[in-house]
A = this chain, B = another copy of it.
């Protein structure tokens, strides 16, 4: 979780992304609504109608997974164009011929060929690929090309040759802090498939929960999960579901820290004296496995035997993050052991632990993955390092010959913007350039969704659509970096996500409706549309949360990034720069008036529910900021000078309005500040 260091990192990321954005805002438009953008695409003329059905023919190599992919494709297509429930027609309108050269590996491997060739003309479509993996990707490209026309639904005529830039394009979901039911995992695997991600990193154990059934050590789940865990049959179900979508599943069992939940059932694993309880708070805690006892490794040997058999992937994640060593320091027996074995500090002790566990993983013919902490002077060369420290740290690992994954910059739980994440490239770093061989050590990256503040209800709407920006960064060419284009294409994808099995927009509306039981629903929607949870780790400083705290407030409902506020802030920037069209002026005035007047509609109902009572100052702030914005707009439009005193006062007031209320930021303030600052002062 890397709380303290991450603070600095994410700040740097933010600055960096801001520069990139600015540099790219005038780039060429991308006409195809595809995300990720393909390696090459040549638009043809015309399009293929799908209004009278589509016959999908499998040629060449085939397997049940391809049959299921076809059925799923047709099902998604029918939802996309609204023909669910229409029986299959015997005479189909068009034909999509899929030709697969041969099988992919039985257990999906890192670096397998995922390429495909897709050709769509007015008379039909051809999808060819070396393996089913390419077919799966090509089908998603096809679905993204479907659109409505005056003549009905059609697919753009195009010839696409496509393959990924990085072989490891992952999404990590933390099911330890908040357990996520199977349907949530399946929805997110659907989302990953839509944007061609290929690794689901399943964070399965935490201080707050051990989430998978062990038959060898059943007290792990029985005492460490509140009954909220995945049975081995359910795990196999998810593995199949992922395999069907061209997605590898890498399990993570986090150790030696972040493991309190293990110790509830097996206190002898720990370095303290126990007894242990499931942790109910968020943060970094003292409990840690005892690296000095052979019984620890005997336990882990058996458990890893069981878990490496359950999860077929060649890679196995052992965590390794944020062990604070306090339990070790407090245990005289452990201090003694360190002295006897010439282990000079806690980092050294963790290195010893890691090397022992890594041997157990290797014994099961698996490759170890772990967080940055795993990288020590004598770490074995086949360990894969997942980097949170940043691109430089990743580059250093690569230079030392380790393969690595970037996650710094892809912490999607931190409420950064899609553009921020998009600007982070695994191969772009501030320092020295890597050689091609060293670059090849960088396998890709992973979006990481930690779940202190995510529930089964809202997690999918936090992960998507922003993760699509990361998916594009990892799939498409390095030169693809126009954030405006990315936002436009993400917007199209968002519209369609419901048909791909991700109903998070509907769920968000339901959550708003629940908050709304007494309020004017429109007024609450208007407020919700321009506020955002604070970035990074600000939330935990604003309120004391624990595992029992219900996440049912407005802050838990709104997306991490307000599209409306982003649009307004862009509008304000154009107005301030003297580049605004009349439509921009009209919109800015209309929106500001709406926001100014919204408070009066919303305020009376807010006190009726605990959930909305805290929103009163936030709603009031919005009205205040909009009022100032309208004054600035008047001044700018009339080219009327404003007193410097007044301007200073307004900017001071806006600084106040920028502060979070009800754990939410009023995100129109930056745009209003731009407007106020642009007025001529005298």
**Given the complex, which residues of B lie within 8 Å of A613, measured CB to CB?**
150
Q: Mark A500-531, 1 if CB is under 8 A from B, else 0.
A: 00010111011101100110000000000000
Inter-chain contact A505/B510, CB cutoff 8 Å: yes
- Min CB distance, A81 to chain B, in Å? 7
Inter-chain contact A609/B149, CB cutoff 8 Å: yes
CB < 8 Å: which of B151, B548, B552 contacts A81? Answer: B552
- Min CB distance, A36 to chain B, in Å? 21
Inter-chain contact A87/B228, CB cutoff 8 Å: yes
In the complex, the chain B residue whose C-beta lies closest to that of A148 is B609
Inter-chain contact B148/A83, CB cutoff 8 Å: no
CB < 8 Å: which of B87, B514, B607 contacts A82? Answer: B514
A15 at the interface (CB under 8 A from B): no
Inter-chain contact A150/B610, CB cutoff 8 Å: yes
In the complex, the chain B residue whose C-beta lies closest to that of A153 is B610
In the complex, the chain B residue whose C-beta lies closest to that of A225 is B87
Inter-chain contact A550/B610, CB cutoff 8 Å: no
A312 at the interface (CB under 8 A from B): no
A85 at the interface (CB under 8 A from B): yes
- Find residues 173-213 in chain A having any chain B CB closer than 8 Å to their own CB: 178-180
A356 at the interface (CB under 8 A from B): no
**Given the complex, which residues of B lie within 8 Å of A80, measured CB to CB?**
514
This chain's copy number in the assembly: 2
**Given the complex, which residues of B lie within 8 Å of A495, measured CB to CB?**
513-514, 517
A63 at the interface (CB under 8 A from B): no
- Min CB distance, A186 to chain B, in Å? 13
Inter-chain contact A148/B518, CB cutoff 8 Å: yes
- Min CB distance, A126 to chain B, in Å? 26
In the complex, the chain B residue whose C-beta lies closest to that of A151 is B610
CA distance A510 to B496 in the complex (A): 9
Inter-chain contact B150/A456, CB cutoff 8 Å: no
- Min CB distance, A486 to chain B, in Å? 19
**Given the complex, which residues of B lie within 8 Å of A511, measured CB to CB?**
82
In the complex, the chain B residue whose C-beta lies closest to that of A184 is B85
**Given the complex, which residues of B lie within 8 Å of A509, measured CB to CB?**
505-506, 509
Q: Mark A10-51, 1 if CB is under 8 A from B, else 0.
A: 000000000000000000000000000000000000000001
CB < 8 Å: which of B85, B457, B513, B547 contacts A179? Answer: B85
**Given the complex, which residues of B lie within 8 Å of A507, measured CB to CB?**
506
Q: Mark A607-626, 1 if CB is under 8 A from B, else 0.
A: 11111010000000000000
A79 at the interface (CB under 8 A from B): yes
CA distance A315 to B511 in the complex (A): 41
**Given the complex, which residues of B lie within 8 Å of A338, measured CB to CB?**
none
Inter-chain contact B503/A510, CB cutoff 8 Å: yes
With A498-B510, A506-B510 in contact, do A517 and B148 touch (Cβ < 8 Å)?
yes
A147 at the interface (CB under 8 A from B): yes
**Given the complex, which residues of B lie within 8 Å of A112, measured CB to CB?**
none
In the complex, the chain B residue whose C-beta lies closest to that of A510 is B498
Inter-chain contact A86/B548, CB cutoff 8 Å: yes
CB < 8 Å: which of B81, B151, B517 contacts A550? Answer: B81
The interface centre, meaning the residue of A151, A455, A510, A548 with most chain B CB atoms within 10 A of its CB, is: A510
CB < 8 Å: which of B79, B149, B457, B498 contacts A84? Answer: B457
A340 at the interface (CB under 8 A from B): no
**Given the complex, which residues of B lie within 8 Å of A610, measured CB to CB?**
148-152
A89 at the interface (CB under 8 A from B): yes
**Given the complex, which residues of B lie within 8 Å of A503, measured CB to CB?**
503, 506, 510
With A148-B517, A503-B503, A506-B509 in contact, do A87 and B609 touch (Cβ < 8 Å)?
no
Q: Mark A63-104, 1 if CB is under 8 A from B, else 0.
A: 000000000000000011111111111000000000000000
A634 at the interface (CB under 8 A from B): no
A551 at the interface (CB under 8 A from B): yes
A345 at the interface (CB under 8 A from B): no
Q: Kindly list 12 other residue pairs between chains A and B, CB separation below 8 angstroms, not including A85-B457, A87-B179, A87-B547.
A: A82-B552, A83-B552, A85-B455, A86-B551, A87-B278, A149-B610, A150-B609, A150-B610, A495-B513, A495-B517, A505-B510, A505-B513
